[in-house]
Amino acid sequence: MTPRCLRPLHVVFTAYCCRFCGRRFPSFKGEKSGFSFPLSIIIHMATAPLIHARYAYSPSISNRNKTASQQGSIPSSSSSASSSGFTFSSGTNSGQRHQGLRAQAMSTVTHGKSIANIGNLKNDPDHLLVLVHGILASAGDWTYAEAELKRRLGKNFLIYVSSSNAYTKTFTGIDGAGKRLADEVLQVVKKTKSLKRISFLSHSLGGLFARYAISVLYSPDTHNRDQQGDLINSLTENFQGTSFSRGGMIAGLEPINFITLATPHLGVRGKKQLPFLLGVPILEKLAAPIAPFFVGRTGSQLFLTEGKPDRPPLLLRMASDCEDGKFLSALGAFRCRMVYANVSYDHMVGWRTSSIRRETELSKPPRQSLDGYKHVVDVEYCPPVPSDGPQFPPKAVKAKEAAQNTPSAQNTVEYHEIVEDEIIRGLQQLGWKKVDVSFHSAFWPFFAHNNIHVKNEWFHNAGVGVIAHVADSLRQQEASSILTASL
């Protein structure tokens, strides 16, 4: 019998083709070799859009009624506000769904092993995912989502469920809860030395807590940013002119994803933002002044009425960089910002406030779910809109004073309309990926606010498709960051 060491080596030749330029890369696989995808094509495909700069530069647009949206594909966003969701393309198919620069090269899965798994040979978690619950809730609200995310994301992720703001602690103000959350995250980072990246997934009011916390944890240090990302950022900044896209660190880690589920980013008011008031004038009149008696300081902040009349409300200040914190720079440091919003049946948080949209920006949502993601009906990338940022003009000061001293439906509506538009103007300086969710066909559609994050596996299991969509978004960005860091 011929000794094994003298047996002829059976080699299989294969070739891979770059989707950008058509260049072919050879690969050789031995008799028992495993992963054979050549590193040369990975590096080439990640840099090809930069090399072929002659291609047109165009933003990704809404995927409404487009083929890719029906396939459930999720575009990747890059690290900065202005680069998030932008790609280089040939310019002839601008109406089609554009994919992110990096995700194309990294989404390949070979022999059951993703590039994200290959990147961490020691199996120590290097990506911290912080889950943040909403008002009057606790860590138990994430029981299903935590287990599902662990199953789908693997050992690269350390999934940590925040517990520092349980139940009535959510009444102490967005700023107070945000600071406690920041301290909690710092403790986790200190205990886990292997961490390199960080993401946040928040439900309802927890999204505002997380936005405040990242401003506390933010540092403008970009020393650890990869050169590839810096080049992409510099190119896209020239096109968009935004100053909130220069990277930074969150708790000393590279920020990757910031995701909110049914979060009242614009505050709450009336039937538009707080649907359970049903548009009844007397309820809308009484809601703002009595909210602090039920939910404490948090209530006045959500209704934008806290503080002196000449001081901008907290949510307006959180739409900019100000003396209270680098709120917009912290958000802009994340590669991807995603907001999931219920288009109907959410009686706690309206569609507009959770998706950061004006009334005129709303349109009838699709009713058909994306393939593989039940009740997720649409994904739209909204590129950054350059502006001078939010303002608090004299008319807003007068309107706030009237809303505080002589509350009425008319005074409240006038004040909120002014402030909401300014908040949107501030947040739109960043690019956002907006995901619309519709539970109209669910058995219990009126549980939409709790369905969206599967608060209880038995009563709110209609939202499992949303959690699957979140998990796949996280995996795609993880693969992107792993590959970029290795270049």
**Whole-angstrom distance, CA of residue 342 vs CA of residue 349:** 8
Extract the tokens encoding 462. Answer: 């209609």
Average pLDDT over residues 215-234: 61
How high does pLDDT run on average in the chain?
75
Per-residue pLDDT of 377-398, as tens digits, reads: 999 999 999 999 999 999 999 9
Quick check: 115 pLDDT over 80? no
Quick check: 13 pLDDT over 90? no
SS3 114: strand
Contact 413, 407 (CB under 8 A): no
SS3 234: helix
37 — pLDDT class (breaks 50, 70, 90): very low
Q: Which residue has the higher pLDDT, 206 or 300?
A: 206
Quick check: 119 pLDDT over 70? no
**Whole-angstrom distance, CA of residue 160 vs CA of residue 189:** 11
Q: What residues contact 201, with CB distance under 8 A and at least 6 apart?
A: 129, 130, 131, 132, 145, 149, 257, 259, 261, 470, 474
pLDDT value of position 126: 92
Q: Give whole-number Cα distances, 11 to 257, 376, 444, in Å.
A: 41, 45, 57
pLDDT value of position 209: 98
Contact 85, 75 (CB under 8 A): yes
Extract the tokens encoding 102. Answer: 């990096």
Per-residue pLDDT of 237-259, as tens digits, reads: 433 434 555 689 999 999 999 99
285 — pLDDT class (breaks 50, 70, 90): low
pLDDT value of position 269: 72
pLDDT value of position 122: 66
Quick check: 430 pLDDT over 70? yes
CA 397 to chain centre: 32
Q: Which residue has the higher pLDDT, 140 or 289?
A: 140
Token pair 């009011």 is at which residue?
205
Whether the CA torsion 269, 270, 275, 277 is positive or negative: it is: positive
Dihedral over alpha carbons 288, 294, 297, 302 (to 10 degrees): -40
Q: What residues contact 235, with CB distance under 8 A and at least 6 apart?
A: 50, 83
Extract the tokens encoding 101. Answer: 């620069």
Q: What residues contact 3, with CB distance under 8 A and at least 6 apart?
A: none
**Whole-angstrom distance, CA of residue 186 vs CA of residue 169:** 19
pLDDT value of position 468: 97
Extract the tokens encoding 472. Answer: 């796949």
Quick check: 59 pLDDT over 90? no
Q: What residues contact 39, with CB distance under 8 A and at least 6 apart?
A: none
Per-residue pLDDT of 316-361, as tens digits, reads: 999 999 999 999 999 999 999 999 999 999 988 999 999 999 988 9
Which of 38-47, 80-89, 118-127 is predicted most confidently?
A: 118-127
Dihedral over alpha carbons 185, 187, 188, 190 (to 10 degrees): 120
Q: What angle do CA 350, 73, 25 make, to 5 degrees?
A: 150
Give the number of other Cβ atoms within 10 Å of residue 131's Cβ.
Answer: 22
DSSP characters over 350-399: -HHHHHT--GGG--PPP-SPBTTBTTEEEEEEE-----S-----HHHHHH
Percentage of the chain modeled with pLDDT above 90: 50
The 8-class DSSP code of residue 406 comes to: S
Helices (H), 99-193: 103-106, 115-119, 143-153, 174-191
pLDDT value of position 305: 87
**Whole-angstrom distance, CA of residue 249 vs CA of residue 480:** 17
